[in-house]
Homo-oligomer: A and B are copies of this chain.
Amino acid sequence: MTHQRQVLYEAMQKMHGHPSPEDVYLRVRRRIPSISLATVYKNIHLFIESGILREVSLHHGSLRVEMNAHAHHHLICVVCKSITDIDEAVLPLAAKPKHLPGGFRAERYAVDVLGRCQACQKEESAQKAS
């Protein structure tokens, strides 16, 4: 736990919502003006990997187009980032209100199941054995 890491953590604890690395950088520079953006990225990743923080959505690097027209949800592997379709009937929502708090009007409900695909589970148990 270095000084930069400590100050980064404390600064982030005071932030709300869903800040970007740039947001965090701008804020922590008030405490450590010499800090590098690369250090911010490295430590955010470290916090995420260690489970202290989580990212809002697993972004797959590039835009992905949905080619499955049926109503479905997604199984997303947090290790290999693979995206698998799963029928909507398997994961029913208790309700799908059209009107939500704050005047938000719902048009579509998407469920992401985050976890580990079979291949990555096997990979990990094989590594643990060695």
Q: Which of A84-119 contact B (CB under 8 A)?
A: 84-86, 90-95, 100-118
CB neighbours of A19 from chain B (8 A): 64-65, 67
How many monomers of this chain does the complex have? Answer: 2
CB neighbours of A84 from chain B (8 A): 102, 104
User: Is A104 in contact with B91, judged by CB distance below 8 angstroms?
Assistant: no
In the complex formed, the residue of B with least CB distance to A21 is B63
User: Is A67 in contact with B12, judged by CB distance below 8 angstroms?
Assistant: yes
User: Is B103 in contact with A68, judged by CB distance below 8 angstroms?
Assistant: no
User: Is B104 in contact with A116, judged by CB distance below 8 angstroms?
Assistant: yes
Taken residue by residue from 59 to 92, chain A's Cβ proximity to chain B (1 for < 8 Å, 0 otherwise) reads as 1111111111000001101100001111000111
Shortest 9 CB-CB contacts between residues of A and residues of B = A103-B118, A56-B64, A18-B64, A107-B115, A106-B115, A92-B94, A20-B62, A110-B112, A108-B114
